[in-house]
Amino acid sequence: MSDPLASLKGNVAVITGAGSGIGEGLAHCAAAAGMQVVVADIATDRAESVADAIREAGGDAMAMPVDVACPGSIDALAEAVHTRLGDVTMLFNNAGVETVGFSWELSSEQWEKTLQINIHGAIHGVRAFAPRMLASGRRAWIANTCSIGGLGMMPLQTSYILSKHAMISFSECLFLEMQLKGAPIHVSAVLPGPVATRIFADGGGGQDEGSAQHRAMMDAMLHADGISGLEAAQRIFPQVVAGAFWVSTHPEVTQQMAAGRAQHLSALSTPALPAEILASMGLAVPE
């Protein structure tokens, strides 16, 4: 049986949010597999740095700017990639942001930014790249970075959590649409667990003391307990290439979250947080 990783050599991979974190790790994994890697990010300096590092290691990478909150920017990225490199066989819709704050205290701009990047960025990534991927008739991969947060609930992170629920649903429906087309395109929903990235440090949100404390707590937790972006990518990349739909960095945690979500919905339970989460937020555990 042929090695799927070996078949990637020379193919083109496009990774959004590749200037840091999981996206940076995925860029290195794709390059190690011999792919031509498009390091796409709104932070062009970070993207150039990642592309430089890949080239210095003997890989093939090109940094390209993209603002996934803007459909036109994604269209321009797709056009530039196809003009310069040809068919894309791997698309990682990975860019994402975290916004912390009470739902009613986030500004309309903060809400729109979060949803445009986390949801519409992937939707328009598929819209811009999938037609050419389908037209090529070649085996290809589309992976959407969701989160184990999409299997749960968390106050103060509402905009992020709902966006990841939406990304799971989008990925499921996209998978079925590719089945209807009989297309050789594998769709994956990537559910990272704790990964030490810049997502909270770069994230915005409410400026009240509670939001700031929660953001600092979550950032500290990720950096204390989370794996690196590269380690996460090294766990993610082979699963995506193998055609897995559910892709996890922490399988046991993902299974627990999924089982808890299923139980919550099947029982139509009232929303509630585990005691340890309440305690970490300085809240009393209900009697």
Question: Catalytic amino acids?
Answer: 160
Whole-number Cα distances in Å, 277 to 102, 135, 272, 282, 284: 17, 48, 10, 9, 10
Could you tell me if 144 and 97 are in contact, meaning their C-beta atoms sit under 8 angstroms apart? no
CA 258 to the chain's CA centroid: 18
Length of the chain as a residue count = 287
Residue 234 C-beta-side C-alpha neighbours within 13 Å: 6
Q: Which residues contact 94 (CB under 8 A, 6 or more apart)?
A: 15, 16, 17, 18, 22, 23, 26, 143, 145, 190
Within 10 A of 268 (CB to CB), how many other CB atoms are there?
A: 6
Whole-number Cα distances in Å, 279 to 100, 161, 282, 283: 18, 20, 5, 5
DSSP assignment, residue 95? -
Could you tell me if 113 and 97 are in contact, meaning their C-beta atoms sit under 8 angstroms apart? yes
Could you tell me if 19 and 26 are in contact, meaning their C-beta atoms sit under 8 angstroms apart? no
Closest C-alpha among 230, 225, 210, 213 to residue 102: 210
Token reading at 84: 């310069």
